[in-house]
Structure 1
Amino acid sequence: MPFVSIKYVKENIADDPAGKQSRIADRIAEAISAEMGVGKDDVWVAFEGIAAAEFYVGPDSVATRRARRK
């Protein structure tokens, strides 16, 4: 059984987290099912939302990088 772990900036899906996670998981399961020959029900997908202030790209948090763009 394939297991997919997704870490993301939780503010990116704050307006509908359950709905967006469900749609993302379905699309990922579909792709893995097609390529690996396993059933969609055999693909496990886990989500871990991380706050922008705690998610870093190099030395800067995503929150800091976004603040610079404004």
Structure 2
Amino acid sequence: MPFVRITIVREVIADDPSAKKAAIGSKVTAAIAEATGLPEREISVVFDEVDARNWYVGSTDVETLRSHNRQGST
């Protein structure tokens, strides 16, 4: 029974978390089912949401990185 844990920046799905998690979960489940031949009912997906300020890429948090990207694109 495959178990998939998806850690995602909360702000990425903030505008419609239920629908976005359902879409991601459905696609991940379908891909695993196709690759393994297992029925989808045997595949579990769990989401861990992390605030952008608590997720770091190198020594910089994602909130800061996104802020810099928005400033650079204006």
Structure 1 unaligned residues grouped into runs of 5+: none
Uncovered stretches (5+) of structure 2, i.e. residues with no partner: none
Runs ≥4 in structure 1, deviation > 4 angstroms?
none
The number of aligned residues is: 70
3-state SS of 1:24 partner: helix
C-alpha distance after superposition, 1:18-57 (max 9, x if no partner): 1110111011110000101100111100001100000000
* Residue number in structure 2 paired with 1:50: 50
User: CA separation in 1, counterparts of 2:17 and 2:68?
Assistant: 26
TM-score scaled to structure 2, two decimals?
0.91
Residue 20 of structure 1 aligns with which residue? Answer: 20
Instruction: Tell me, in whole angstroms, the C-alpha distance in 1 between the residues paired with 2:29 and 2:40.
Output: 5
1:7 corresponding residue in structure 2: 7
TM-score, structure 1 normalization:
0.96
- Answering whether residue 5 of structure 2 is matched by residue 37 of structure 1, we say no
Amino acid corresponding to residue 53 of structure 1 in structure 2: R
Identity %: 37
The CA RMSD measured in Å over matched residues stands at 0.6
